[in-house]
Structure 1
Amino acid sequence: MDDNTPDSPKDGPRDRPHDNPAGPRSRVRDLDIVVYGATGFVGELTAAHLAAAAPRSTRIALAGRSRERLEATRSRLGERARDWPLLVADAHDTAALGGIAAAAHVVVTTVGPYARYGMPLAHACAAAGTDYTDLSGEVLFVRDSIDAHHELARGTGARIVHACGFDSVPSDIGVHVLHERVRADGAGEMTGTALVLTSVRGGISGGTIDSLRGQIDTMRTDRARRRQVLDPYTLSPDRAAEPDFGRQSDFALLRGSAVSPALRGTLAPFVMAPFNTRVVRRSNALRGHAYGSRFRYREAMAAGRGPLSPLIAAGTAAGIGGLLAGLALPPTRRLLDRLLPAPGTGPDEETRERGHFTADLFTITTTGARYTARFRAQGDPGYRATAVMLGQSALALALDRDALPDSPGGVLTPATGIGDALVARLRAAGTTVAVRPLPG
């Protein structure tokens, strides 16, 4: 059998047409989900989650550059994955990627940096009317994908959903559930809204560091791209329609009480804020600014409540600044490259299992009502928890068509592309996603 041809599934229905009656989306597909990059660290974790969590009838395939490595990965996934097809395709082999996209309802990819490897697969899915999810935390890649694929995907019905891991599901889905509760209560529109990472245990992903290197290099050599990265609304569909709040810094120190009366101490910058905030703002814009015409969104990280809180927060800010500066300068980058985790590597199983995170979101509405949402998950945020979020995003797109947000397709966000279907699946998988009102 040709390596690019799916093996025949032994379990489950074969001819499940998609719900769109016209265009490429209506083609019968042999597979529900393809995991591209399954031989990588996070790719295998995602495949393992699908092997444990997907209904037995779900037709799943593994894809990557090496059939030998794919076979080794499949052998470690247990009996559920024994007959999963293996598809071989290099990240720049457009013909092979087109074949994968045409065979599947959903392609989930963990192959980054996405600016280097992701565009051909995203294009293949947009052209074939195939839903797509990834773990991108790269502002420039997502901006380029919007420019290249949004209208194409709208025409084919494909949902191209970037950022379906720790970047940016807690942020985007957290704001989504806040909005739904505020709307249901008739409490007006959201105004000042913030995510605070109140508890976290886990390591830094080597893939995230590699993506950061690439973006820093681009910003150093291209002023126009640097302006795009720094624009708080760079992912919005209509920049001119966005509100002007003046300068919006992603790395400012904040007083906890300025975010919510329930918080104490000083809040430190959150290293993922420059990407997450832009994803949330895109969600608001794609929804016609339903969150509110005065909606303003920030992210930060708790630094304790005691007298040392300002020093801890300032030290965190200095550490982030030092990391970014170090990666920008060749001599210090060479040193950091020896110390930081390499792409495709990650912590051992015990460390992954012991990790966790809690993100608390706060908003005040135009009627003066206050709400908070909590997004909490067990497992290292960048590895185990991310594999759950990505795997459940793929399952929602493949199996929960009736529960997805009404959309003609396009380059979407977790909230606008998957929405409540993802909320339900994450809760069923053990993730806390809860909203409650706060005292006025």
Structure 2
Amino acid sequence: MSPTPDRAHDIVVYGASGFVGRLTAAYLAEHAPADARIALGGRSRERLEAVRATLGPAAASWPVVVADSADPEALAAMAADTRAVATTVGPYLRYGLPLVGACAAAGTHYADLTGEVLFMRKAIDAHHASAMESGARIVHTCGFDSIPSDLGVFLLAAAASDGDLGELTDATYVLKGSRGGVSGGTVDSLRGQLDEAKRDGASRRLLTDPYSLSPDRDAEPDLGPQRDPVGVVRDDALGGFLAPFAMGTINTRVVRRSNALSGYAYGSRLRYRELMLAGGLPLGPVKAAAIAGGIGALMAGLAIPPTRKVLDHLLPDPGEGPSEKNRERGFFAVDVHGTTSSGARLVCRIRAQGDPGYKATAVMLGESALALALDGDALPKTAGVLTPATAMGHVLVDRLRAAGQTYEVEQV
């Protein structure tokens, strides 16, 4: 580690008094190097100090940084005083852009947990150029959305290149199994995106565009319809019957941005989709239809005021999350399948213990922050509004493996 003398902190965990913010801070307190200079940020000194008191002796001397998301001067001061910010303060479309702007202007690296396409598009349009100029790496989706997707395809492409197998032509993410709770913050973000799309036709079109996060929409290849799956898919090579993966509408756009930012190094005509495995006969098609129908019903229910009121009483609120016991019992298992132009077939197997949206995500965000703050010389030489794969690549893969997560590619 090579500390920057004119910056007091290596990492500020912003939103540390929120549910996932506390988990991320706790992860860093246990796993960050002893000489890492970490601070807790948010709008309430009292709440931040209360969180710090729960983190054990490693965090006892961590400073507290008070900065409200609606106070541009405080955000600018915080960004200027640290090498990297890891933020869990959402919904990001409502609260996040000022912090992105402050980090881009200050040359401060940034990682978040957004799953909001509209927010990411606004951040790209407003701050990509200034982040490139300052050297800041602005990295969205540093949790279960979208690190497994992004790094999975990244590793498939790297293996294809290393093995002289040609470029990727098709890739499919398959969630084979998981156990975890529904995030109240994710639900609140979804509400915000639906409301914005309802108010604004351009936002509605952006949400349905498979290349909505691409750096140059006109440069994307014409591959025909690439709409996200909405019904049951049967693919025996992938395990039988499959349903749409609810977060695929976010992850697929992140992967396509990674491919474009890397000069289409994955494949100049790569087609990518995300699915959930339901299984074979006889129950597979029934389960897949139930999953697909449930996703459609949730989206429709949140879009209609009367049913939204009912769902608001049933779904978790922002800041709520599962018990420690349930977080520990959680897991996820993902296979990312790829086919190359030579006909070779590869699979990247990704596994992690812990609730995907909470414990496993805290590991991913924590290691992303450490990579951005401490591994500068080893990271890809790039800046701007990036993705996990383009900002951190193999450095983050190695960190997540060392943290106990599995990312392994094999030819099949």
> 2:234 matched to which residue of 1?
255
1:45 to 23, 29, 34: 23
> 1:16 matched to which residue of 2?
3
Q: Please report how far the alpha carbon of residue 306 of structure 1 lies from its aligned counterpart in structure 2 after TM superposition.
A: 2.5
Matching residue's letter, 1:369: A
Structure 1, gaps ≥5 residues long: 1-12, 18-26
Q: Please report how far the alpha carbon of residue 398 of structure 1 lies from its aligned counterpart in structure 2 after TM superposition.
A: 1.1
Give 1:301-312 correspondences, 5 Å limit. 301-312=276-287
Q: Please report how far the alpha carbon of residue 279 of structure 1 lies from its aligned counterpart in structure 2 after TM superposition.
A: 0.2
User: Does 395-404 or 32-41 show the bigger shift?
Assistant: 395-404
Deviation per CA, 1:191-213, whole angstroms, max 9, x where unpaired?
Answer: 11010000100011000000000
CA distance in 2 between counterparts of 1:250 and 1:45 reads 32
Checking the alignment, whether the CA contact within 8 Å between 2:111 and 2:138 is kept in structure 1 is yes
Give 1:265-304 correspondences, 5 Å limit. 265-304=240-279
Deviation per CA, 1:95-116, whole angstroms, max 9, x where unpaired?
Answer: 0000110000000000000000
Q: Please report how far the alpha carbon of residue 277 of structure 1 lies from its aligned counterpart in structure 2 after TM superposition.
A: 0.1
Matching residue's letter, 1:71: E
Checking the alignment, whether the CA contact within 8 Å between 1:403 and 1:420 is kept in structure 2 is no
Matching residue's letter, 2:20: V
SS across alignment from 2:160? helix
Matching residue's letter, 1:139: V
SS across alignment from 2:358? helix
CA distance in 2 between counterparts of 1:375 and 1:194 reads 13
Q: Please report how far the alpha carbon of residue 247 of structure 1 lies from its aligned counterpart in structure 2 after TM superposition.
A: 2.0
Q: Please report how far the alpha carbon of residue 352 of structure 1 lies from its aligned counterpart in structure 2 after TM superposition.
A: 0.2
Checking the alignment, whether the CA contact within 8 Å between 1:65 and 1:89 is kept in structure 2 is yes
- TM-score, structure 2 normalization: 0.98
CA distance in 2 between counterparts of 1:160 and 1:312 reads 39
Matched, 1:244 2:231: no
> 1:436 matched to which residue of 2?
410
> 1:381 matched to which residue of 2?
356
> 2:296 matched to which residue of 1?
321
CA distance in 2 between counterparts of 1:344 and 1:284 reads 34
Give 1:85-164 correspondences, 5 Å limit. 85-164=63-142
> 1:9 matched to which residue of 2?
none
Matching residue's letter, 1:346: G
> 1:184 matched to which residue of 2?
162
1:417 to 381, 391, 401: 391
Deviation per CA, 1:258-302, whole angstroms, max 9, x where unpaired?
Answer: xxx2x2221101000000000000000001111111211000000
CA distance in 1 between counterparts of 2:72 and 2:371 reads 27
- Root-mean-square deviation over aligned CA pairs: 1.0
Give 1:193-204 correspondences, 5 Å limit. 193-204=171-182
CA distance in 1 between counterparts of 2:221 and 2:116 reads 23
SS across alignment from 1:381? coil
Matching residue's letter, 1:275: I
Matching residue's letter, 2:407: V
CA distance in 2 between counterparts of 1:338 and 1:190 reads 45
> 1:359 matched to which residue of 2?
334
Q: Please report how far the alpha carbon of residue 221 of structure 1 lies from its aligned counterpart in structure 2 after TM superposition.
A: 1.4
Checking the alignment, whether the CA contact within 8 Å between 1:108 and 1:132 is kept in structure 2 is yes
CA distance in 1 between counterparts of 2:399 and 2:265 reads 24
Matched, 1:81 2:59: yes
2:322 to 324, 329, 347: 347
Checking the alignment, whether the CA contact within 8 Å between 1:251 and 1:317 is kept in structure 2 is no
CA distance in 1 between counterparts of 2:21 and 2:278 reads 32
> 1:10 matched to which residue of 2?
none
Q: Please report how far the alpha carbon of residue 243 of structure 1 lies from its aligned counterpart in structure 2 after TM superposition.
A: 1.3
Deviation per CA, 1:107-160, whole angstroms, max 9, x where unpaired?
Answer: 000000000010011100000000000000000000000000100000000000
Give 1:29-44 correspondences, 5 Å limit. 29-44=7-22
Matching residue's letter, 2:193: Q
Give identity over the alignment, percent: 61
CA distance in 2 between counterparts of 1:350 and 1:384 reads 11
Matching residue's letter, 2:214: S
User: Does 247-256 or 295-304 show the bigger shift?
Assistant: 247-256
Q: Please report how far the alpha carbon of residue 402 of structure 1 lies from its aligned counterpart in structure 2 after TM superposition.
A: 2.2
Deviation per CA, 1:301-343, whole angstroms, max 9, x where unpaired?
Answer: 0002231111111111110000000000111101100000100
CA distance in 1 between counterparts of 2:6 and 2:341 reads 48
Deviation per CA, 1:72-99, whole angstroms, max 9, x where unpaired?
Answer: 0000000000000001111110000001
